[in-house]
Amino acid sequence: MQLTEAVKNCNGCGACVVACKLVCVKMEGPLEGRTKKTPHKNEDGCNKCNACVLYCPLYNPVTMPEFRDFYEFKEEFENRDMPDLYRQTMRSVKAGQYTEFIGTLCEIAALKSLMGDKFRPNLKVYPLYCDEEKRAKDPACQVCMFYKDEK
Ligand code: SF4
Ligand code: SF4
Ligand code: SF4
């Protein structure tokens, strides 16, 4: 089952992949008409705990920090393995290390949701403007609650 059936306008942030402790959610695609991968749920191993939906920042919105300065989107931020990056970031923060995370607002919302809607002081978050080319083609981006226009 595509999780996009359960979460309207899924933006492919990948928080649900990390939320599933039974490793039933995987990012696939992009599906036709999308520019980002979206989550697919393997029903066989699923115990129906619903964590994948509960940690989705579109389903359970988080309080977003106010950002003033945004960084330009660059090629190096394309096609990153976001679930793995969220895991690494959380591990490092939990270990008490100074940690930096750079991402679009939907990715920052995903990380914050996975951290229980709290950012610890040893985590520094840098926001990125979105890839405008991809954004223009993706229906989820068109209705995005996080989007900030590049000035
Ligand atoms: S957590 Fe992100 S990828 Fe998963 S369903 Fe929600 S918006 Fe989509
Ligand atoms: S309902 Fe629970 S076990 Fe099933 S995919 Fe979602 S998080 Fe994983
Ligand atoms: S518009 Fe930007 S922040 Fe919103 S879903 Fe698309 S990439 Fe993420």
Q: What is the pLDDT of residues 6-24, one digit of tens each?
A: 778 999 999 999 999 999 9
Q: Identify the CATH number of the domain defined by range 3-142.
A: 3.30.70.20
Tell which atom from ligand 2 comes closest to the C-alpha of 47: 3
Q: How far apart, in whole angstroms, are the C-alpha atoms of residue 26 and residue 6?
A: 15
pLDDT in tens, 65-107: 999 899 998 889 988 999 999 999 999 999 999 999 999 999 9
- Which residue ranges make up each domain of the chain? 3-142
Q: Establish whether residue 130 lines the binding site of ligand 3, counting it when its CB lies within 6 angstroms of any ligand atom.
A: yes
The Å distance, Cα 144 to ligand 3 centre, comes to 6
Share of residues in the chain with pLDDT > 90 (%): 76
Q: Which residue puts its alpha carbon closest to atom 2 of ligand 3?
A: 130
Q: Closest-lying ligand to the alpha carbon of 51?
A: 2
Q: Judge if pTM exceeds 0.85.
A: yes
**Cβ pair 6, 60 in contact under 8 A:** no
Ramachandran area for residue 125 (φ above 0: left; ψ -120 to 50: alpha; else beta): beta
Strands 123-127 and 99-103: parallel
Q: Which residue puts its alpha carbon closest to atom 6 of ligand 3?
A: 141
151 pLDDT more than 70: no
**Cβ pair 127, 67 in contact under 8 A:** yes
Pocket test of ligand 2: the residue of 5, 17, 28, 47 to mutate, having most ligand atoms within 8 Å of its CB, is 47
Pocket test of ligand 2: the residue of 1, 16, 22 to mutate, having most ligand atoms within 8 Å of its CB, is 22
pLDDT in tens, 114-125: 999 999 999 999
Which CA distances in Å does 103 have to 13, 22, 49? 10, 26, 28
